[in-house]
Structure 1
Amino acid sequence: MGPKPVTLKELAERLGLSPATVSLVINRSPVADSIPQLTKDRILATAQKYKYRPSFFARSLRAQRSFTIGVIVPEVSDGYSASVMSGVEDHLLQEGYFYFVVSHRHRADLIDEYPRLFLERSVDGLIAVDTPWTLSLSVPVVTVSGHNQVNGVTNIVLDHARAAEVALKHLFQLGHRNIAFIKGQEFSSDTEVRWANIEKAARQLGLPIAPALISQLKGDSPSPELGYEATRKLLASRKP
Protein backbone atom coordinates (compact mmCIF):
# COMPACT_ATOMS: atom_id res chain seq x y z
CA MET A 1 0.00 0.00 0.00
CA GLY A 2 1.42 3.39 -1.02
CA PRO A 3 1.93 6.45 1.18
CA LYS A 4 -1.13 8.37 2.26
CA PRO A 5 -1.86 11.26 -0.16
CA VAL A 6 -1.03 14.70 1.17
CA THR A 7 -4.06 16.86 1.96
CA LEU A 8 -4.63 20.49 1.00
CA LYS A 9 -4.19 21.52 4.63
CA GLU A 10 -0.88 19.65 4.92
CA LEU A 11 0.36 21.14 1.66
CA ALA A 12 -0.52 24.64 2.85
CA GLU A 13 1.34 24.04 6.13
CA ARG A 14 4.48 22.95 4.28
CA LEU A 15 4.29 26.12 2.19
CA GLY A 16 3.48 28.41 5.08
CA LEU A 17 0.42 29.68 3.24
CA SER A 18 -3.32 29.57 3.83
CA PRO A 19 -5.28 26.63 2.38
CA ALA A 20 -7.43 29.17 0.51
CA THR A 21 -4.41 30.61 -1.33
CA VAL A 22 -3.11 27.17 -2.25
CA SER A 23 -6.57 26.09 -3.42
CA LEU A 24 -6.96 29.14 -5.67
CA VAL A 25 -3.70 28.36 -7.47
CA ILE A 26 -4.18 24.59 -7.69
CA ASN A 27 -7.71 25.00 -9.08
CA ARG A 28 -6.69 27.76 -11.51
CA SER A 29 -9.18 30.22 -10.13
CA PRO A 30 -9.34 33.61 -11.92
CA VAL A 31 -8.85 35.16 -8.48
CA ALA A 32 -5.36 33.62 -8.45
CA ASP A 33 -4.27 36.24 -10.99
CA SER A 34 -3.67 38.59 -8.07
CA ILE A 35 -1.23 36.17 -6.42
CA PRO A 36 2.48 36.83 -7.20
CA GLN A 37 3.88 34.54 -9.88
CA LEU A 38 6.75 33.40 -7.63
CA THR A 39 4.21 32.26 -5.04
CA LYS A 40 2.16 30.41 -7.68
CA ASP A 41 5.28 28.71 -9.03
CA ARG A 42 6.26 27.62 -5.50
CA ILE A 43 2.79 26.21 -4.84
CA LEU A 44 2.71 24.24 -8.08
CA ALA A 45 6.26 22.92 -7.60
CA THR A 46 5.49 21.78 -4.05
CA ALA A 47 2.22 20.17 -5.15
CA GLN A 48 4.10 18.24 -7.81
CA LYS A 49 6.83 17.23 -5.35
CA TYR A 50 4.34 15.73 -2.92
CA LYS A 51 2.10 14.39 -5.73
CA TYR A 52 -0.87 16.37 -4.48
CA ARG A 53 -4.10 15.92 -6.42
CA PRO A 54 -7.16 18.03 -5.61
CA SER A 55 -10.31 16.10 -4.82
CA PHE A 56 -12.56 16.22 -7.85
CA PHE A 57 -15.63 15.50 -5.75
CA ALA A 58 -14.82 18.25 -3.24
CA ARG A 59 -14.23 20.71 -6.05
CA SER A 60 -17.45 19.71 -7.77
CA LEU A 61 -19.42 20.00 -4.54
CA ARG A 62 -18.05 23.45 -3.74
CA ALA A 63 -18.67 24.81 -7.22
CA GLN A 64 -21.98 22.98 -7.78
CA ARG A 65 -20.61 21.90 -11.14
CA SER A 66 -19.53 18.59 -12.65
CA PHE A 67 -16.67 20.07 -14.71
CA THR A 68 -17.71 17.87 -17.61
CA ILE A 69 -18.92 18.81 -21.08
CA GLY A 70 -20.91 16.69 -23.52
CA VAL A 71 -19.81 16.78 -27.16
CA ILE A 72 -21.95 15.55 -30.05
CA VAL A 73 -20.43 14.94 -33.49
CA PRO A 74 -21.66 13.20 -36.66
CA GLU A 75 -18.70 10.79 -36.78
CA VAL A 76 -15.75 10.58 -34.40
CA SER A 77 -13.47 9.59 -37.30
CA ASP A 78 -14.61 12.45 -39.55
CA GLY A 79 -11.67 14.74 -40.36
CA TYR A 80 -13.61 17.95 -39.69
CA SER A 81 -15.01 16.75 -36.38
CA ALA A 82 -11.60 15.43 -35.32
CA SER A 83 -10.00 18.79 -36.10
CA VAL A 84 -12.60 20.70 -34.08
CA MET A 85 -12.34 18.21 -31.23
CA SER A 86 -8.58 18.66 -31.06
CA GLY A 87 -9.04 22.36 -30.27
CA VAL A 88 -11.93 21.69 -27.89
CA GLU A 89 -9.90 19.12 -25.98
CA ASP A 90 -6.90 21.44 -25.61
CA HIS A 91 -9.04 24.24 -24.21
CA LEU A 92 -11.03 22.04 -21.84
CA LEU A 93 -7.80 20.54 -20.50
CA GLN A 94 -6.46 24.01 -19.73
CA GLU A 95 -9.66 24.84 -17.86
CA GLY A 96 -9.69 21.60 -15.88
CA TYR A 97 -12.70 20.09 -17.65
CA PHE A 98 -13.34 16.57 -18.84
CA TYR A 99 -15.61 15.70 -21.76
CA PHE A 100 -17.72 12.87 -23.13
CA VAL A 101 -18.06 12.54 -26.90
CA VAL A 102 -20.75 10.68 -28.84
CA SER A 103 -21.48 10.31 -32.56
CA HIS A 104 -25.03 10.39 -33.89
CA ARG A 105 -24.19 9.15 -37.41
CA HIS A 106 -26.94 11.43 -38.74
CA ARG A 107 -29.68 9.49 -36.97
CA ALA A 108 -32.49 11.79 -35.83
CA ASP A 109 -33.30 9.57 -32.84
CA LEU A 110 -29.74 9.84 -31.50
CA ILE A 111 -29.64 13.60 -32.07
CA ASP A 112 -32.71 13.83 -29.81
CA GLU A 113 -31.63 11.19 -27.28
CA TYR A 114 -28.01 12.10 -26.57
CA PRO A 115 -28.73 15.55 -25.06
CA ARG A 116 -31.11 13.91 -22.56
CA LEU A 117 -28.50 11.32 -21.62
CA PHE A 118 -25.89 14.03 -21.12
CA LEU A 119 -28.22 16.02 -18.88
CA GLU A 120 -28.84 12.90 -16.79
CA ARG A 121 -25.08 12.80 -16.23
CA SER A 122 -25.09 16.42 -15.03
CA VAL A 123 -22.85 17.91 -17.71
CA ASP A 124 -22.23 21.65 -17.39
CA GLY A 125 -22.80 22.30 -21.09
CA LEU A 126 -22.95 20.81 -24.57
CA ILE A 127 -20.99 21.31 -27.78
CA ALA A 128 -22.61 20.14 -31.02
CA VAL A 129 -20.38 19.91 -34.11
CA ASP A 130 -22.00 20.01 -37.57
CA THR A 131 -25.24 18.80 -36.01
CA PRO A 132 -28.73 20.19 -36.70
CA TRP A 133 -29.83 21.75 -33.41
CA THR A 134 -33.32 22.85 -32.35
CA LEU A 135 -33.34 22.15 -28.60
CA SER A 136 -33.35 24.74 -25.83
CA LEU A 137 -31.80 23.09 -22.76
CA SER A 138 -31.17 23.92 -19.11
CA VAL A 139 -27.40 24.17 -19.75
CA PRO A 140 -25.45 26.34 -22.22
CA VAL A 141 -25.08 24.90 -25.72
CA VAL A 142 -22.50 25.85 -28.35
CA THR A 143 -22.95 24.68 -31.93
CA VAL A 144 -20.12 24.60 -34.44
CA SER A 145 -21.56 25.10 -37.94
CA GLY A 146 -25.05 25.46 -36.51
CA HIS A 147 -27.42 27.87 -38.23
CA ASN A 148 -30.67 27.68 -36.23
CA GLN A 149 -31.52 30.50 -33.81
CA VAL A 150 -32.38 28.81 -30.50
CA ASN A 151 -32.61 30.33 -27.02
CA GLY A 152 -29.54 29.55 -24.90
CA VAL A 153 -27.55 28.37 -27.92
CA THR A 154 -24.42 30.09 -29.25
CA ASN A 155 -23.67 29.39 -32.91
CA ILE A 156 -20.10 29.44 -34.19
CA VAL A 157 -20.18 29.62 -37.97
CA LEU A 158 -17.78 30.21 -40.82
CA ASP A 159 -18.08 33.41 -42.84
CA HIS A 160 -19.40 31.66 -45.94
CA ALA A 161 -20.29 34.93 -47.65
CA ARG A 162 -16.72 36.20 -47.42
CA ALA A 163 -15.25 32.83 -48.38
CA ALA A 164 -17.42 32.59 -51.52
CA GLU A 165 -16.63 36.18 -52.49
CA VAL A 166 -12.86 35.76 -52.12
CA ALA A 167 -12.71 32.40 -53.92
CA LEU A 168 -14.88 33.33 -56.90
CA LYS A 169 -13.40 36.81 -57.26
CA HIS A 170 -9.91 35.32 -57.38
CA LEU A 171 -10.84 32.87 -60.15
CA PHE A 172 -12.82 35.55 -62.00
CA GLN A 173 -9.89 37.97 -61.99
CA LEU A 174 -7.66 35.24 -63.39
CA GLY A 175 -10.01 35.06 -66.35
CA HIS A 176 -11.79 31.82 -65.49
CA ARG A 177 -15.48 31.64 -66.41
CA ASN A 178 -16.27 27.92 -66.61
CA ILE A 179 -15.93 27.03 -62.95
CA ALA A 180 -16.90 23.65 -61.55
CA PHE A 181 -18.47 23.28 -58.11
CA ILE A 182 -18.66 20.35 -55.72
CA LYS A 183 -21.56 20.67 -53.29
CA GLY A 184 -21.25 19.13 -49.86
CA GLN A 185 -23.44 16.29 -48.68
CA GLU A 186 -27.00 17.27 -47.85
CA PHE A 187 -26.77 16.22 -44.21
CA SER A 188 -23.99 18.73 -43.47
CA SER A 189 -25.23 21.82 -41.64
CA ASP A 190 -23.04 24.07 -43.80
CA THR A 191 -23.94 22.77 -47.27
CA GLU A 192 -27.11 24.79 -47.90
CA VAL A 193 -25.73 28.04 -46.47
CA ARG A 194 -22.43 27.67 -48.29
CA TRP A 195 -24.12 27.04 -51.64
CA ALA A 196 -26.51 29.98 -51.22
CA ASN A 197 -23.53 32.28 -50.69
CA ILE A 198 -21.71 30.86 -53.69
CA GLU A 199 -24.75 31.56 -55.88
CA LYS A 200 -24.99 35.09 -54.48
CA ALA A 201 -21.31 35.81 -55.10
CA ALA A 202 -21.59 34.43 -58.65
CA ARG A 203 -24.58 36.69 -59.40
CA GLN A 204 -22.71 39.74 -58.13
CA LEU A 205 -19.83 38.94 -60.49
CA GLY A 206 -22.16 38.20 -63.40
CA LEU A 207 -20.75 34.69 -63.46
CA PRO A 208 -23.14 31.99 -64.74
CA ILE A 209 -23.11 28.63 -62.97
CA ALA A 210 -23.43 25.78 -65.47
CA PRO A 211 -25.54 22.89 -64.10
CA ALA A 212 -23.26 20.44 -65.92
CA LEU A 213 -20.34 21.68 -63.80
CA ILE A 214 -22.04 21.05 -60.46
CA SER A 215 -21.36 17.80 -58.63
CA GLN A 216 -23.38 16.87 -55.54
CA LEU A 217 -21.63 14.60 -53.04
CA LYS A 218 -23.81 11.63 -52.13
CA GLY A 219 -23.95 9.07 -49.35
CA ASP A 220 -23.76 9.32 -45.59
CA SER A 221 -20.00 8.91 -45.23
CA PRO A 222 -17.68 11.94 -44.88
CA SER A 223 -14.83 10.08 -46.63
CA PRO A 224 -12.42 12.25 -48.72
CA GLU A 225 -12.77 9.59 -51.41
CA LEU A 226 -16.15 11.10 -52.33
CA GLY A 227 -14.51 14.39 -53.22
CA TYR A 228 -11.80 12.61 -55.18
CA GLU A 229 -14.34 10.72 -57.26
CA ALA A 230 -16.42 13.85 -57.91
CA THR A 231 -13.32 15.75 -59.05
CA ARG A 232 -12.23 12.89 -61.29
CA LYS A 233 -15.61 12.81 -63.03
CA LEU A 234 -15.67 16.57 -63.54
CA LEU A 235 -12.19 16.52 -65.07
CA ALA A 236 -13.04 13.52 -67.22
CA SER A 237 -16.18 15.20 -68.59
CA ARG A 238 -14.04 17.87 -70.32
CA LYS A 239 -16.89 20.36 -70.26
CA PRO A 240 -15.98 23.68 -71.93
Structure 2
Amino acid sequence: MGATIRDIAEKTGVSITTISQILNGKGSRFSEATRNKVFQTAKDLAYKPNFFAKNMVTNRTNTIGMIVPEVTDPFFSQMVKGAEDYLNAHDYMILLCNSSQDSAREDLYVEELLHRAVDGLIIASPNILASNVFEQLEIRHKPYILLDCKRHHREEGNIFIDDYEGGYMATEYLISLGHTQIGIITSDDSFYSVEERLQGYLACLEKHQVPGESAWISEGDQTMAGGYFAAKQLLTTTEITALFVTNDQMAVGAYRAALELGIHIPNDLSIVGFDDIELAEYMAPALTTIRQPIYDIGKTAAEYLLKATQNPTEKIANKKMPLDLIIRESTQKLDARR
Protein backbone atom coordinates (compact mmCIF):
# COMPACT_ATOMS: atom_id res chain seq x y z
CA MET A 1 0.00 0.00 0.00
CA GLY A 2 1.33 3.47 -0.91
CA ALA A 3 2.22 6.22 1.51
CA THR A 4 -0.55 8.54 2.73
CA ILE A 5 -0.69 12.12 3.96
CA ARG A 6 -0.95 10.68 7.47
CA ASP A 7 2.44 8.98 6.95
CA ILE A 8 3.98 12.30 5.91
CA ALA A 9 2.44 13.94 9.00
CA GLU A 10 3.98 11.33 11.29
CA LYS A 11 7.44 11.82 9.71
CA THR A 12 7.38 15.62 9.70
CA GLY A 13 5.23 16.55 12.66
CA VAL A 14 3.23 18.82 10.35
CA SER A 15 -0.56 18.70 10.51
CA ILE A 16 -2.53 16.77 7.89
CA THR A 17 -4.44 19.93 6.92
CA THR A 18 -1.20 21.86 6.32
CA ILE A 19 0.31 19.01 4.31
CA SER A 20 -2.83 18.74 2.16
CA GLN A 21 -2.75 22.44 1.36
CA ILE A 22 0.95 22.39 0.50
CA LEU A 23 0.66 19.34 -1.77
CA ASN A 24 -2.33 20.88 -3.53
CA GLY A 25 -0.49 24.11 -4.30
CA LYS A 26 -2.25 26.18 -1.65
CA GLY A 27 0.56 26.40 0.90
CA SER A 28 2.08 29.80 0.08
CA ARG A 29 1.27 31.12 3.56
CA PHE A 30 3.52 28.48 5.18
CA SER A 31 7.27 28.93 5.56
CA GLU A 32 9.64 27.76 2.86
CA ALA A 33 11.25 25.38 5.37
CA THR A 34 7.90 23.73 6.11
CA ARG A 35 7.04 23.41 2.42
CA ASN A 36 10.45 21.93 1.60
CA LYS A 37 10.18 19.44 4.47
CA VAL A 38 6.76 18.27 3.28
CA PHE A 39 7.83 17.96 -0.36
CA GLN A 40 11.07 16.13 0.49
CA THR A 41 9.28 13.68 2.82
CA ALA A 42 6.60 13.05 0.18
CA LYS A 43 9.39 12.29 -2.29
CA ASP A 44 11.24 10.02 0.15
CA LEU A 45 8.04 8.05 0.84
CA ALA A 46 7.17 7.87 -2.89
CA TYR A 47 3.84 9.49 -2.06
CA LYS A 48 1.29 9.59 -4.87
CA PRO A 49 -1.90 11.60 -4.44
CA ASN A 50 -5.27 9.91 -4.54
CA PHE A 51 -6.69 11.43 -7.69
CA PHE A 52 -10.27 10.95 -6.58
CA ALA A 53 -9.57 12.75 -3.32
CA LYS A 54 -7.61 15.39 -5.18
CA ASN A 55 -10.57 15.89 -7.50
CA MET A 56 -12.64 17.00 -4.50
CA VAL A 57 -10.17 19.85 -4.02
CA THR A 58 -9.04 20.77 -7.54
CA ASN A 59 -11.96 19.48 -9.63
CA ARG A 60 -9.34 17.63 -11.73
CA THR A 61 -8.58 13.94 -12.06
CA ASN A 62 -5.61 14.22 -14.45
CA THR A 63 -7.31 11.70 -16.72
CA ILE A 64 -8.37 12.08 -20.35
CA GLY A 65 -10.89 9.84 -22.09
CA MET A 66 -10.20 8.68 -25.64
CA ILE A 67 -12.61 6.80 -27.91
CA VAL A 68 -11.41 5.12 -31.11
CA PRO A 69 -13.29 2.94 -33.63
CA GLU A 70 -10.87 -0.01 -33.47
CA VAL A 71 -7.91 -0.15 -31.13
CA THR A 72 -6.36 -3.14 -32.96
CA ASP A 73 -6.18 -1.13 -36.20
CA PRO A 74 -2.51 -0.09 -36.70
CA PHE A 75 -3.68 3.40 -37.66
CA PHE A 76 -5.57 4.02 -34.42
CA SER A 77 -3.00 2.29 -32.22
CA GLN A 78 -0.36 4.70 -33.53
CA MET A 79 -2.70 7.64 -32.95
CA VAL A 80 -3.37 6.50 -29.38
CA LYS A 81 0.38 6.22 -28.77
CA GLY A 82 0.87 9.83 -29.86
CA ALA A 83 -1.83 11.02 -27.45
CA GLU A 84 -0.67 8.79 -24.60
CA ASP A 85 3.00 9.78 -24.88
CA TYR A 86 2.10 13.46 -24.66
CA LEU A 87 -0.34 12.98 -21.78
CA ASN A 88 2.07 10.82 -19.76
CA ALA A 89 4.79 13.45 -20.15
CA HIS A 90 2.38 15.93 -18.55
CA ASP A 91 1.32 13.64 -15.67
CA TYR A 92 -2.00 12.66 -17.19
CA MET A 93 -3.45 9.19 -17.65
CA ILE A 94 -5.58 8.05 -20.56
CA LEU A 95 -8.78 6.00 -20.34
CA LEU A 96 -9.11 4.25 -23.69
CA CYS A 97 -12.40 2.98 -25.10
CA ASN A 98 -12.81 0.84 -28.22
CA SER A 99 -16.18 1.41 -29.89
CA SER A 100 -15.83 -1.31 -32.56
CA GLN A 101 -17.36 1.26 -34.96
CA ASP A 102 -20.67 1.03 -33.07
CA SER A 103 -22.26 4.51 -32.80
CA ALA A 104 -24.48 3.52 -29.84
CA ARG A 105 -21.43 2.23 -28.02
CA GLU A 106 -19.62 5.51 -28.68
CA ASP A 107 -22.49 7.50 -27.16
CA LEU A 108 -22.49 5.22 -24.11
CA TYR A 109 -18.73 5.56 -23.67
CA VAL A 110 -18.97 9.36 -23.67
CA GLU A 111 -21.54 9.18 -20.87
CA GLU A 112 -19.45 6.67 -18.91
CA LEU A 113 -16.27 8.70 -19.23
CA LEU A 114 -18.09 11.81 -18.02
CA HIS A 115 -19.41 9.78 -15.10
CA ARG A 116 -15.79 8.92 -14.25
CA ALA A 117 -14.97 12.63 -14.14
CA VAL A 118 -12.37 12.75 -16.93
CA ASP A 119 -10.95 16.21 -17.54
CA GLY A 120 -11.69 16.06 -21.28
CA LEU A 121 -12.24 13.74 -24.24
CA ILE A 122 -10.61 12.90 -27.56
CA ILE A 123 -13.14 11.30 -29.91
CA ALA A 124 -12.13 9.65 -33.19
CA SER A 125 -15.27 8.53 -34.98
CA PRO A 126 -16.66 8.07 -38.49
CA ASN A 127 -20.15 8.24 -36.96
CA ILE A 128 -22.32 11.19 -36.01
CA LEU A 129 -22.65 11.19 -32.24
CA ALA A 130 -26.04 11.69 -30.63
CA SER A 131 -26.89 15.35 -29.98
CA ASN A 132 -27.42 14.71 -26.26
CA VAL A 133 -23.79 13.61 -26.00
CA PHE A 134 -22.61 17.09 -26.97
CA GLU A 135 -25.20 18.66 -24.68
CA GLN A 136 -23.76 16.70 -21.75
CA LEU A 137 -20.23 17.80 -22.65
CA GLU A 138 -21.32 21.43 -22.76
CA ILE A 139 -23.38 21.23 -19.56
CA ARG A 140 -20.42 19.76 -17.66
CA HIS A 141 -17.99 22.20 -19.29
CA LYS A 142 -15.78 19.38 -20.53
CA PRO A 143 -13.47 20.24 -23.45
CA TYR A 144 -13.26 17.73 -26.28
CA ILE A 145 -11.39 17.24 -29.52
CA LEU A 146 -12.94 15.62 -32.59
CA LEU A 147 -10.81 13.80 -35.11
CA ASP A 148 -13.36 14.04 -37.94
CA CYS A 149 -14.29 17.68 -38.29
CA LYS A 150 -16.50 17.74 -41.35
CA ARG A 151 -18.59 14.81 -40.17
CA HIS A 152 -19.69 16.68 -37.05
CA HIS A 153 -19.85 20.25 -38.43
CA ARG A 154 -18.17 21.74 -35.37
CA GLU A 155 -16.53 25.15 -35.70
CA GLU A 156 -13.62 24.53 -33.34
CA GLY A 157 -11.59 21.76 -31.72
CA ASN A 158 -11.18 19.71 -34.89
CA ILE A 159 -7.97 18.04 -36.05
CA PHE A 160 -8.20 16.75 -39.58
CA ILE A 161 -6.62 16.04 -42.94
CA ASP A 162 -7.98 16.83 -46.40
CA ASP A 163 -9.04 13.37 -47.57
CA TYR A 164 -10.21 14.75 -50.91
CA GLU A 165 -6.74 16.21 -51.49
CA GLY A 166 -5.17 12.87 -50.58
CA GLY A 167 -7.33 10.95 -53.04
CA TYR A 168 -6.52 13.46 -55.75
CA MET A 169 -2.80 13.31 -54.96
CA ALA A 170 -2.66 9.50 -55.19
CA THR A 171 -4.54 9.41 -58.49
CA GLU A 172 -2.53 12.22 -60.04
CA TYR A 173 0.70 10.41 -59.22
CA LEU A 174 -0.49 7.27 -61.01
CA ILE A 175 -1.55 9.36 -64.02
CA SER A 176 1.93 10.97 -64.06
CA LEU A 177 3.35 7.47 -64.46
CA GLY A 178 1.29 7.02 -67.62
CA HIS A 179 -1.57 4.96 -66.18
CA THR A 180 -5.05 5.57 -67.55
CA GLN A 181 -6.77 2.41 -66.34
CA ILE A 182 -6.78 3.13 -62.62
CA GLY A 183 -8.96 1.19 -60.21
CA ILE A 184 -9.85 2.11 -56.65
CA ILE A 185 -10.74 0.08 -53.57
CA THR A 186 -12.99 1.94 -51.18
CA SER A 187 -15.54 1.18 -48.47
CA ASP A 188 -19.18 2.08 -47.88
CA ASP A 189 -20.08 5.78 -47.68
CA SER A 190 -20.68 5.70 -43.92
CA PHE A 191 -16.93 6.32 -43.68
CA TYR A 192 -16.81 10.00 -44.56
CA SER A 193 -13.03 10.14 -44.98
CA VAL A 194 -12.95 7.29 -47.49
CA GLU A 195 -15.85 8.79 -49.45
CA GLU A 196 -13.84 12.01 -49.73
CA ARG A 197 -10.84 10.06 -51.05
CA LEU A 198 -13.09 8.50 -53.69
CA GLN A 199 -14.33 11.95 -54.72
CA GLY A 200 -10.73 13.14 -55.04
CA TYR A 201 -9.98 10.15 -57.29
CA LEU A 202 -12.97 10.88 -59.52
CA ALA A 203 -12.20 14.60 -59.73
CA CYS A 204 -8.59 13.91 -60.71
CA LEU A 205 -9.63 11.55 -63.52
CA GLU A 206 -12.01 14.19 -64.83
CA LYS A 207 -9.44 17.00 -64.54
CA HIS A 208 -6.89 15.03 -66.57
CA GLN A 209 -9.54 13.77 -69.01
CA VAL A 210 -8.82 10.18 -68.07
CA PRO A 211 -11.90 8.02 -68.61
CA GLY A 212 -13.20 6.14 -65.61
CA GLU A 213 -15.50 3.15 -65.36
CA SER A 214 -17.81 2.11 -62.56
CA ALA A 215 -16.35 -1.39 -62.86
CA TRP A 216 -13.02 -0.01 -61.68
CA ILE A 217 -14.49 0.87 -58.28
CA SER A 218 -14.58 -1.99 -55.77
CA GLU A 219 -15.82 -1.81 -52.18
CA GLY A 220 -14.80 -3.77 -49.10
CA ASP A 221 -14.44 -3.63 -45.35
CA GLN A 222 -11.56 -1.49 -44.08
CA THR A 223 -9.51 -4.56 -43.17
CA MET A 224 -6.91 -6.77 -44.82
CA ALA A 225 -9.64 -9.27 -45.62
CA GLY A 226 -11.82 -6.52 -47.05
CA GLY A 227 -8.98 -5.38 -49.31
CA TYR A 228 -8.26 -8.95 -50.37
CA PHE A 229 -11.80 -9.73 -51.52
CA ALA A 230 -12.31 -6.32 -53.15
CA ALA A 231 -9.03 -6.63 -55.07
CA LYS A 232 -9.77 -10.22 -56.11
CA GLN A 233 -13.08 -9.13 -57.60
CA LEU A 234 -11.50 -6.13 -59.34
CA LEU A 235 -8.45 -7.89 -60.74
CA THR A 236 -10.40 -10.83 -62.14
CA THR A 237 -13.01 -8.70 -63.93
CA THR A 238 -11.02 -5.72 -65.27
CA GLU A 239 -7.72 -4.95 -66.98
CA ILE A 240 -6.53 -2.11 -64.78
CA THR A 241 -2.81 -1.29 -64.69
CA ALA A 242 -2.88 0.69 -61.45
CA LEU A 243 -4.81 0.62 -58.19
CA PHE A 244 -5.46 3.22 -55.49
CA VAL A 245 -6.36 1.53 -52.20
CA THR A 246 -7.93 3.95 -49.72
CA ASN A 247 -6.14 2.56 -46.66
CA ASP A 248 -2.94 0.61 -46.14
CA GLN A 249 -4.55 -2.30 -44.31
CA MET A 250 -6.70 -2.97 -47.36
CA ALA A 251 -3.58 -2.64 -49.52
CA VAL A 252 -2.05 -5.58 -47.63
CA GLY A 253 -5.04 -7.68 -48.68
CA ALA A 254 -4.73 -6.41 -52.26
CA TYR A 255 -1.11 -7.61 -52.34
CA ARG A 256 -2.27 -11.10 -51.36
CA ALA A 257 -4.95 -11.12 -54.06
CA ALA A 258 -2.43 -10.05 -56.71
CA LEU A 259 0.01 -12.76 -55.59
CA GLU A 260 -2.63 -15.48 -55.86
CA LEU A 261 -3.59 -14.28 -59.35
CA GLY A 262 0.02 -14.25 -60.55
CA ILE A 263 0.01 -10.45 -60.91
CA HIS A 264 3.42 -8.92 -60.17
CA ILE A 265 3.68 -5.61 -58.31
CA PRO A 266 4.74 -3.19 -59.78
CA ASN A 267 5.53 -4.79 -63.17
CA ASP A 268 1.91 -5.76 -63.84
CA LEU A 269 0.14 -3.52 -61.37
CA SER A 270 1.12 -0.30 -59.61
CA ILE A 271 -0.45 0.22 -56.17
CA VAL A 272 -0.78 3.34 -54.00
CA GLY A 273 -2.14 3.12 -50.45
CA PHE A 274 -3.22 5.67 -47.88
CA ASP A 275 -2.09 6.34 -44.25
CA ASP A 276 1.52 5.08 -44.16
CA ILE A 277 1.10 2.70 -41.27
CA GLU A 278 4.37 1.18 -40.02
CA LEU A 279 3.81 -2.02 -42.02
CA ALA A 280 3.76 -0.13 -45.35
CA GLU A 281 7.52 0.34 -45.40
CA TYR A 282 8.14 -3.37 -44.78
CA MET A 283 5.79 -4.84 -47.39
CA ALA A 284 7.36 -6.52 -50.40
CA PRO A 285 7.63 -4.43 -52.46
CA ALA A 286 7.48 -1.46 -50.06
CA LEU A 287 4.20 0.37 -50.48
CA THR A 288 3.91 3.78 -52.12
CA THR A 289 1.31 5.61 -50.06
CA ILE A 290 -0.19 8.90 -48.95
CA ARG A 291 1.22 9.60 -45.51
CA GLN A 292 -0.84 11.30 -42.88
CA PRO A 293 1.02 12.10 -39.64
CA ILE A 294 -0.85 9.57 -37.50
CA TYR A 295 1.28 9.85 -34.35
CA ASP A 296 1.27 13.64 -34.55
CA ILE A 297 -2.51 13.71 -34.92
CA GLY A 298 -2.85 11.94 -31.58
CA LYS A 299 -0.15 14.08 -29.97
CA THR A 300 -1.69 17.32 -31.24
CA ALA A 301 -5.15 16.27 -30.03
CA ALA A 302 -3.74 15.69 -26.54
CA GLU A 303 -1.81 18.97 -26.59
CA TYR A 304 -4.85 21.01 -27.64
CA LEU A 305 -7.05 19.28 -25.09
CA LEU A 306 -4.71 19.98 -22.18
CA LYS A 307 -4.57 23.64 -23.20
CA ALA A 308 -8.35 23.69 -23.17
CA THR A 309 -8.51 22.21 -19.67
CA GLN A 310 -6.12 24.89 -18.41
CA ASN A 311 -7.83 27.76 -20.27
CA PRO A 312 -11.50 26.77 -20.52
CA THR A 313 -12.68 30.17 -21.79
CA GLU A 314 -10.37 30.14 -24.82
CA LYS A 315 -11.51 28.64 -28.10
CA ILE A 316 -9.86 25.40 -29.19
CA ALA A 317 -8.11 25.95 -32.50
CA ASN A 318 -8.73 23.81 -35.57
CA LYS A 319 -5.70 22.10 -37.08
CA LYS A 320 -5.30 20.77 -40.60
CA MET A 321 -2.51 18.20 -40.69
CA PRO A 322 -0.29 17.83 -43.79
CA LEU A 323 -0.30 14.98 -46.29
CA ASP A 324 2.74 13.67 -48.17
CA LEU A 325 3.19 11.29 -51.08
CA ILE A 326 5.71 8.65 -50.03
CA ILE A 327 7.13 6.99 -53.14
CA ARG A 328 8.45 3.49 -52.62
CA GLU A 329 8.62 0.35 -54.77
CA SER A 330 4.99 -0.57 -55.51
CA THR A 331 4.65 1.85 -58.45
CA GLN A 332 6.45 2.38 -61.72
CA LYS A 333 5.98 4.06 -65.10
CA LEU A 334 3.62 2.24 -67.43
CA ASP A 335 6.22 2.06 -70.22
CA ALA A 336 8.68 0.43 -67.81
CA ARG A 337 6.52 -2.68 -67.48
CA ARG A 338 8.31 -5.83 -68.52
TM-score, normalized by length of structure 2?
0.53
Pairing 1:71–2:75 present? no
Pairing 1:212–2:207 present? no
Task: Name the residue aligned to 2:148.
Answer: 145
Task: Name the residue aligned to 2:333.
Answer: none
Q: 2:117 aligns with which of 118, 122, 127?
A: 122
* Counterpart amino acid of residue 147 in structure 2: V
Number of equivalenced pairs: 213
State whether residues 73 and 128 of structure 1, in contact with CA within 8 Å, keep that contact through their aligned partners in structure 2: yes
What is the CA–CA distance in structure 1 between the aligned matches of 2:102 and 2:229, rounded to whole Å?
A: 25
State whether residues 62 and 93 of structure 2, in contact with CA within 8 Å, keep that contact through their aligned partners in structure 1: yes
* Pairs within 5 Å for 1:1-240: 7=8, 51-57=46-52, 59-134=54-129, 135=131, 136=134, 137-138=137-138, 139-147=142-150, 148-150=152-154, 154-218=157-221, 222-239=222-239
> RMSD across aligned C-alpha pairs, in angstroms?
3.5
SS of the residue 1:182 aligns to: strand
> Identity across aligned pairs (percent)?
27
Kindly state the Cα deviation for residue 187 of structure 1 after the two structures are TM-superposed.
3.5
Kindly state the Cα deviation for residue 182 of structure 1 after the two structures are TM-superposed.
0.5
Greater CA deviation, 177-186 or 194-203?
194-203
Higher normalized contact order (CA 8 Å, seq sep 6+, divided by chain length): 2
State whether residues 104 and 110 of structure 1, in contact with CA within 8 Å, keep that contact through their aligned partners in structure 2: yes
Provide, for residues 65-109 of structure 1, a one-character-per-residue CA deviation record: whole Å limited to 9, x for no partner: 121122222222223222211212111111211222222233332
Kindly state the Cα deviation for residue 62 of structure 1 after the two structures are TM-superposed.
4.4
Task: Name the residue aligned to 2:307.
Answer: none
SS of the residue 1:101 aligns to: strand
SS of the residue 1:154 aligns to: coil
What is the CA–CA distance in structure 1 between the aligned matches of 2:47 and 2:159, rounded to whole Å?
A: 38
Gaps of 5+ in 2: 13-19, 26-38, 241-338
Gaps of 5+ in 1: 12-18, 25-43
Greater CA deviation, 128-137 or 50-59?
50-59
* Counterpart amino acid of residue 144 in structure 1: L
Kindly state the Cα deviation for residue 61 of structure 1 after the two structures are TM-superposed.
4.1
What is the CA–CA distance in structure 1 between the aligned matches of 2:106 and 2:74, rounded to whole Å?
A: 20
What is the CA–CA distance in structure 2 between the aligned matches of 1:131 and 1:173, rounded to whole Å?
A: 32
Greater CA deviation, 170-179 or 193-202?
193-202
State whether residues 73 and 131 of structure 1, in contact with CA within 8 Å, keep that contact through their aligned partners in structure 2: no
SS of the residue 1:196 aligns to: helix
TM-score, normalized by length of structure 1?
0.71
